[in-house]
Amino acid sequence: MAFQLPKLPYALNALAPVISEETMQYHYGKHHQTYVNNLNQLVAGKPFEHMMLDEVVMMSAGFDQAVFNNAAQAWNHTFFWMCLSPRGGGQPGGRLYNDIVAKWGSFEAFRDDFVAKAAGNFGSGWTWLVFNPETEGLEIVNTSNAETPLASDNIPLLVVDVWEHAYYIDYRNARVDFVRGVMDRLVDWDFVSRNYYRAC
Ligand SMILES: [Fe+2]
Residue 140: is its pLDDT beyond 90? yes
Contact 24, 13 (CB under 8 A): yes
Q: How far is the CA of 157 from the centre of ligand 1 (A)?
A: 17
Q: How far is the CA of 130 from the centre of ligand 1 (A)?
A: 19
Residue 56 belongs to what domain range? 21-82
> Do residue 170 and residue 98 come from a single domain?
yes
> Do residue 125 and residue 165 come from a single domain?
yes
- Residues in CB range of 24: below 8 A, 6 or more apart: 12, 13, 15
List the strands of the sheet with 125-132, edge to edge: 137-144, 125-132, 155-161
Tell me the pLDDT tens digit for each residue of 4-55.
Answer: 999 999 999 999 999 999 999 999 999 999 999 999 999 999 999 999 999 9
- Within-domain flag for 149: yes
Tell me the pLDDT tens digit for each residue of 157-200.
Answer: 999 999 999 999 999 999 999 999 999 999 999 999 999 999 98
The pLDDT assigned to 10 comes to 98
Position 51, amino acid: M
> Do residue 187 and residue 113 come from a single domain?
yes
**Does the predicted model carry a pTM greater than 0.95?**
yes
Q: How far is the CA of 118 from the centre of ligand 1 (A)?
A: 14
Q: How far is the CA of 102 from the centre of ligand 1 (A)?
A: 31
